[in-house]
Amino acid sequence: MTVERVLPTAEAHDLIDLVRELAGKEVAPRAAADEATGRFPREVFTTLGRSGLLGLPYPEEHGGAAQPYEVYLQVIEELAAGWLAVGLGLSVHTLSCFPVAAYGTDAQRAELLPEMLGGELLGAYCLSEPHSGSDAAALTTRAARDADGYTVDGVKAWITHGGAADFYTLMARTSPDGARGISCFHVPAGTPGLSFGEPERKMGMKSSPTAQVRFDAARLGPDALVGSEGEGFRIAMAALDGGRLGIAACAVGVAQAAFDAAASYARERRQFGSRIADFQGVGFMLADMATRIAAARALYLDAARLRDAGRPYGTQAAMAKLFATDMCMNVTTDAVQVLGGYGYVEDFPVERYMREAKVLQIVEGTNQVQRLVISRAVAKG
Amino acid sequence: MNIVVCVKQVPDTATERKLRSDDKTLDRDAADGVINELCEYAVEEALRLKEAHGGEVTVLTMGPGKATDTIRKALAMGADKAVHLVDDALHGSDALGTSYALAQTLKKIGFDLVVLGSESTDARTGVLAAMLAERLGVPQLTFSNKVEVNGETITAQRVTDYGYDRVEASLPAVVSVVEKINEPRYPSFKGIMAAKKKPVTTLGIADAEIDASQVGLANSWSEVVDFAAAPPRAAGTIVKDEGDGGVKTADFLASKKFV
């Protein structure tokens, strides 16, 4: 079912119409086959890029589309409803562009952003390491400065688009000084000393490559540094606030797709002479699903509007990510239940939605970390 | 090169399409209007020819006020400007009347090349390109799956039952295209924004010097006498495989002239 959207401008409605056409014709029809084989649909991102969707929330002067987060996130939601690997991929790409866009020098922005946002390139974001996940400030990948730039050594883990991306936004340690010793770098693919692990064998999102990104005496020039030395952790956390909203939007999209499948099945499936949607046991489940989806959408849009207004929104972003992804797990699980045996087999998409939902409770900060963020804000008063 | 692409708004094939009971014309309120699919291929081919040879692409449509949505779609893909022929007197024109009205408009706005889809999903007469070429007194290269322009010469591969004919003509000319010719592009977000500022000229029949006695339902040479809903699809033929399923299937296909 088409989601009724209140958007701020006529151009945003045109954008959503375009995205729905792309999602319906280029994204959703390929999802099941590529998820079954684990093939990465790089060409779908090229199609999205040529339609101008790979730089939506960034300024027009650098090749973006100057769209508010309120609109950009609804684009993510529509794409994720078609195929999470694409919606989440776009969210990760957009996150990867954030440090250069927000903290880069004018020269870096002018040189790098047009290509990063132009649609032909795809980004990856390298923060986590095998032994540094929730405790991101404990990362050990080292960028040692010398006269000509930096030498990077270390391993980044769980990197979406690892091995497939055209550039890597890297957080690495430039001094032993904890969170204040981390710096941000822009690393093009093909940098000598950069290599990749085998893609992880995941429970879902099998078509989106997740791999280790390894740095073995990788050489970066001095202008690879984004922001100042030591500013990396602050940049990473600011990027993640936006990234969390992207994940919340993905969760709402996947849940909406699962709900649509379950509701349409319940309207057709007849048992004991009635449509199962007319049985209260099923009907109330569907009612709860629809309500939770609507609530999660309202929550991420509320956080987005705070961001668009230039107000602090980190706590609201954590709330949206927490609520939307837990909701998504819940709704996709119920969608499988509504379809019964049919829900458990691969001939219907709902088992895929359920597997996809799980990763959203983990990425961009586990939901336990989101509770930590929210509870700290509450305790601080 | 001055290229004009004729596009048509048709009822969405994904929805239920109806005729009006009063005058037996299309019920435009019953279904969403979308650009005819083959017209997208025509627009794409026009844009590719412009990209290769320079010039300008003008979209021409004849249709009611809400056909502007279809014009915007073609402009968002990259066409430069549009002409919208709209007049109540045109309502119900058959293919002959439509070809006359479009020919008069094309004479008015000028062209080196006219590109059309080879048929529309609503009326499906597939004759408009040929009629238009006759009206204009220029060569027709219809059902093309490949088009090349070299100076004043246009070459096309014309799809036939047995393969294709290679046909050649001098410009100006009329070309109609089939879906194998290209893969239409999606508009970009920037293209959609830009389309809002592109010029759309609206013409009535007087502006295009169209004689009212040759267009419209009352002056059509053909008439819809009666119509009925398509019957539900009949049960198919089931071939039981008793070791000779392949032969039976092939015989069936041969009897329908598929093989």
Domain boundary among A233, A255, A284: A233
B216 to chain A, minimum CA–CA distance in Å? 34
* Residue A98: φ, ψ to 5°: -60, -45
B112 falls within a domain: yes
Tell me which chain B residues have a C-beta less than 8 angstroms from the C-beta of A18. 186-187, 189, 192
CATH, residue A80: 1.10.540.10
Could you give the count of Cα atoms lying within 13 Å of B164 in the half-sphere of its Cβ? 19
CA-based torsion, A332, A334, A336, A338: positive or negative: negative
In order, the DSSP letters of A183-196 are EEEEEETT-TTEEE
Instruction: Tell me the average pLDDT across A118-133.
Output: 95
User: Do A168 and A111 fall into the same domain?
Assistant: no
Task: Name which of B2, B47, B61, B58 is nearest B147 in CA terms.
Answer: B47
A47 touches chain B (CB under 8 A): yes
For residue B249, tell me if it sits in a domain: no
pLDDT the model gives residue B76: 94
Cα–Cα dist A139/A159, whole Å? 14
Domain's final residue, options A58, A85, A118: A118
| CA–CA min distance A235, chain B (Å) | 29
Q: Is residue B251 part of a domain?
A: no
Query: Is B211 among the domain residues?
Result: yes
- The structure tokens listed for B82 are 């549009």
Question: End-to-end alpha-carbon separation of chain B, Å?
Answer: 43
Judged by a CB distance cut-off of 8 A, whether residue B186 touches chain A is yes
Q: Which residues pair with A185 in a beta bridge?
A: A170, A225
How distant is the Cα of A56 from the closest Cα of chain B, in angstroms? 10
Do A65 and B186 make contact, defined as CB atoms within 8 angstroms? no
Q: Is A343 left (phi over 0), alpha (psi -120 to 50) or beta?
A: alpha
A225 belongs to a structural domain: yes
Mutual orientation of helices A106-117 and A84-103 as an angle, nearest 10°?
A: 160
**CB of B165 closer than 8 Å to CB of B158:** yes
The residues, any chain, with a CB within 8 Å of residue B29's CB and separated by 6 or more, are none
Report d(CA B137, CA B173) in Å as an integer: 9
Rounded CA-CA distance B111/A230 in Å is 64
Range of the domain at B198: 2-219
Closest chain A residue by Cα to residue B188: A51
Do A152 and A127 touch, CB atoms closer than 8 A?
no
Contact B192 A50 (CB under 8 A): no
Residues in B touching A14 (Cβ below 8 Å): 189, 192-193
CA–CA dist A264, A283 (Å, integer): 12
Report if residue B247 sits inside a domain: no
What's the CATH number where B90 sits? 3.40.50.620
Task: Compute the nearest-CA separation of B188 from chain A (Å).
Answer: 4
Do A156 and A127 share a structural domain? yes
Burial of A162 (0-12, 13-18, 19+ CB in 10 A): buried
Residue of B nearest to A25 (CA): B186
Q: Is position B246 within any domain? A: no
Residue A15 has its nearest CB partner, among B185, B186, B189, at B189
| Mean pLDDT computed over every residue of chain A | 97
In a domain, A375, yes or no: yes
Give the count of Cβ contacts less than 8 A between chain A and B.
Answer: 30
pLDDT of B188 reads 93
- Chain B: residue nearest A26 by CA? B186
Does residue A24 lie in a domain region?
Answer: yes
Instruction: Report the residue from A22, A26, A52 with minimal CB separation from B190.
Output: A52
Q: Are A214 and A268 members of one domain?
A: no
To which H or E segment does residue A331 belong? helix A314-339
B186/A15 CB distance under 8 A: no
Q: Which helix (H) or strand (E) holds A334?
A: helix A314-339
Nearest-Cα residue of chain B relative to residue A9:
B193
Q: Which among A15, A47, A65 is the nearest to B186, CB-wise?
A: A47
In this structure, the answer to whether residues A220 and A135 fall within a common structural domain is: yes
Give the catalytic positions of A in this structure: 364
Q: How many domains does chain A have?
A: 3
Interface test with B, best of A18, A19, A56 (most B CBs within 10 A): A18
Are A106 and A47 contacting, i.e. CB atoms less than 8 angstroms apart? Answer: no
Query: B190 and A11: CB-CB below 8 Å?
Result: no
Residue that wins the pLDDT comparison between A192 and B28: A192
Largest Cα–Cα distance in chain B? 70
Q: Are residues A92 and A144 in the same domain?
A: no
**Cα–Cα nearest to A45, from A200, A188, A160:** A160
Q: Is the dihedral of CA A10, A16, A18, A24 positive or negative?
A: negative
Return the structure tokens found at B81. Answer: 């400007």
What pLDDT, on the 0 to 100 scale, is given for residue B171?
A: 93
Strand, helix or coil for residue B154: strand
Cα–Cα distance measured from residue A346 to residue A31, given in angstroms and rounded to the nearest whole number: 12
A5, part of any domain: no
**Could you tell me if residue B41 is inside a domain?**
yes
Cα A276 to Cα A158: distance, rounded to the nearest angstrom: 41
Angle, alpha carbons A379-A329-A126 (nearest 5°) = 70
- A137 plus A201 within the same structural domain: yes
- Considering the domain boundaries, does residue A216 fall inside one? yes
For residue range A130-186, what is the model confidence (pLDDT) as tens digits? Answer: 999 999 999 999 999 999 999 999 999 999 999 999 999 999 999 999 999 999 999
**pLDDT computed for residue B169 by the predictor:** 96
Which of B206, B239, B216, B259 is closest to B90 using CA atoms? B216
The strand ranges marked E within A86-141 are 123-126
Q: Are residues A240 and A373 in the same domain?
A: yes
Place of tokens 């009212």: B212
Query: Smallest CA–CA separation between B244 and chain A, in Å?
Result: 31
Residue whose token pair is 């100042």: A228
Q: Measured between alpha carbons, how far is A116 from A62 in angstroms, rounded to an integer? A: 9
The CATH number assigned to the domain holding A241 equals: 1.20.140.10
Q: What is the pLDDT of residue B240?
A: 85
pLDDT tens, N- to C-terminus, chain B (259 residues): 999 999 999 888 888 888 888 888 888 777 788 898 999 999 999 999 999 999 999 999 999 988 998 999 999 999 999 999 999 999 988 999 999 999 999 999 999 999 999 988 887 888 999 999 999 999 999 999 999 999 999 999 999 999 999 999 999 999 999 999 999 999 999 999 999 999 999 999 999 999 999 999 888 898 888 888 888 888 788 888 888 999 999 998 999 888 8
Residue contact A50–B186, C-beta within 8 A: yes
Q: How many domains does chain B have?
A: 1
Question: Is residue B133 a contact partner of residue B123, using CB atoms and an 8 Å limit?
Answer: no
Q: Are residues A229 and A252 in the same domain?
A: no
Q: A52–B186: do the CB atoms touch at under 8 Å? A: no
Instruction: Dig out the tokens for A75 from the structure.
Output: 């684009």
Burial class (CB in 10 A: 0-12, 13-18, 19+), A350: buried
Question: Which residue segment(s) compose the domain that A173 sits in?
Answer: 123-233
Residues near A189 by beta carbon (within 8 Å), at least 6 away in sequence: A165, A166, A167, A168
Give the span between the Cα atoms of A91 and A300, in whole angstroms: 14
Quote the radius of gyration of chain B (alpha carbons, Å).
20
Residues of B within 8 A of A16 (CB-CB) are none
A9 touches chain B (CB under 8 A): no
* Dihedral class, residue B139 (left if φ above 0, else alpha if ψ from -120 to 50, else beta): beta
> Do the domain assignments include residue B234?
no
Last residue of a domain, one of A233, A254, A282: A233
Nearest to A50 among B188, B192, B193 (CB): B188
Residues in chain B with CB shorter than 8 Å from the CB of A65 are 189-190
As a whole number of angstroms, the distance between CA A168 and CA A185 comes to: 8
Buried b (16+ CB within 10 A) or exposed e, B167-183: bebebbbbbbbbeebbe
A contact residues 54-83, partner B, Cβ 8 Å cutoff: 56, 65
Ramachandran quadrant class, A202 (left: phi over 0; alpha: psi -120 to 50; beta: rest): beta
| CB-based burial label for A180 (10 Å; 0-12, 13-18, 19+) | middle
Residues A357 and A256: their CA atoms lie apart, in Å, by 12
pLDDT digits (tens, 9 = 90+) for A79-99: 999 999 999 999 999 999 999
Q: Give domain status of residue A28, yes or no.
A: yes
- A172 and A92 part of one domain: no
Asked if A157 and A111 sit in the same domain, the reply is no
List beta partners, residue A152: A143, A218
Q: What is the arithmetic mean of pLDDT over A245-251?
A: 98
Q: Closest CB to B186: pick one of A15, A22, A56.
A: A22
Residue among B165, B114, B166 at smallest CA distance from B135? B114
Interface check for B222 against chain A (CB to CB < 8 A): the answer is no
CATH number at residue A206: 2.40.110.10
Q: Which pLDDT score, from 0 to 100, does residue A211 have?
A: 98
Same domain, A226 and A257: no
Mapping DSSP to helix (H, G, I), strand (E, B) and coil, where does residue A173 land?
strand
Name the token pair of A299: 């929550």
Q: What is the pLDDT of residues A27-77, one digit of tens each?
A: 999 999 999 999 999 999 999 999 999 999 999 999 999 999 999 999 999
Neighboring chain B residues of A15 at a CB cutoff of 8 Å: 189, 192
Both structure tokens of A149:
């730039």
CA distance A190 to A167: 9
Q: How far apart are CA B244 and CA B94, in angstroms?
A: 50
Residue of A342, A336, A338, A376 lying closest to A358 (CA atoms): A336
Chain A nearest CA to B75, separation (Å): 14
Q: Do A243 and A219 fall within a single domain?
A: no
